[in-house]
Amino acid sequence: MLTRRNLLLGSTALALRGATLMSKERVDRALKGEDVDRTPFSFWHHFLDASQPGEEHARSTLAFHEKFHTDLVKVMSDYPYPKSKAEWYVLREEKNPFPQQIVALEKIRDGLAGQAYFVETLFNPWKVAENLSSVEEVRKLQHEKPQALLDALEVIAKSEANHARRSIAAGAAGVFVAIANAQDGYMTQEDYAKFSEPFDKMVFDAVRTAPLNILHLHGDKVYLDRFYKGFAAQAINYSTHGTGVPISKVRAQYSGVILGGLDEVNYRKLTRLDLKRQWVDAKKSAGAKFILTPGCSVPNDSTDEELSQLPKMFGA
């Protein structure tokens, strides 16, 4: 017996056979809320090559894109922020904090040859501070020397703003800023407003004219409604499966582009039919301003066969 879902899945699959747009054109149309030949998609994981030169990082990124035919290339960013020689929080503004990442972006730009957009990943200043010290050390500084922490976060934000501008100059369509501390149980909204939000906005504001800046709201208890307005970003990426917040609820309050719909945690177990169901449900709720992605990185040890289920679903 044909159910409405089966009919929808079948008709969608048929529509894919007429796919004619280039990846960049497909994403452009999704950004504008226009019809597309098929839903643009992307996914990503860490290559764990932070100890390698930028050229090698670019090769890893381009090889992944070419193998799995992603419509949008999310460039991973695992190179560390420069450490202080004094106390970890005594920092200076860096004009080029991630030089090898810029090398990688330039190589990725050349390799893509304008056929697909790529976005540069940045961890927000609070996370960078934790990486420079530890979660405990940042909390200790927050309580004992709050102004010292604010000063350090401002320096990090200015440095990341410099990197964001260099990224756009190197060809990136925007920045993908990961914010992991904006969630209940991790940080109150009052603390986020004081110790994180101004600095997160500084990074976005530095490249506010870029066509595709993305808020990545990481975690299962994120206060999503804080981010629907006020940030120089065209899109939000969050985990529907981790948070339990359906895309329909976000779409009711948010008019921008939504990236999501796929279960990143259980990605390795998902069949092509599972992926198709998640896609259809997400697309129905999100509407035209939608790019199908996981809510975060898929497991780094995913096999090529597991990773290929998504592009195969689209005939890519």
> Tell me, what's the pLDDT at 5?
42
Matching residue, tokens 């060809």: 171
Domains of the chain from N-terminus onward? 36-313 (3.20.20.210)
- Calculate the alpha carbon distances from 301 to 6, 64, 88, 108, 216 in Å: 32, 14, 33, 23, 22
**Mind listing the pLDDT tens digit for each residue in 203-214?**
999 999 999 999
Determine the pLDDT at residue 18: 55
pLDDT at 20: 87
What tokens were used for 78?
A: 């695992």
Kindly state the helix (H) or strand (E) to which residue 177 belongs, with its residue range.
Answer: strand 174-179
Largest CA distance in the chain: 70
Low-confidence ranges of the chain (pLDDT < 70): 1-19
DSSP 137: H
Under 8 Å CB-to-CB from 162, ≥6 apart: which residues?
93, 94, 95, 96, 97, 206
Which pLDDT does position 12 carry in this prediction? 42
- pLDDT number for residue 19: 66
User: Which three-class secondary structure state does DSSP give residue 117?
Assistant: strand
State the pLDDT at residue 11: 40
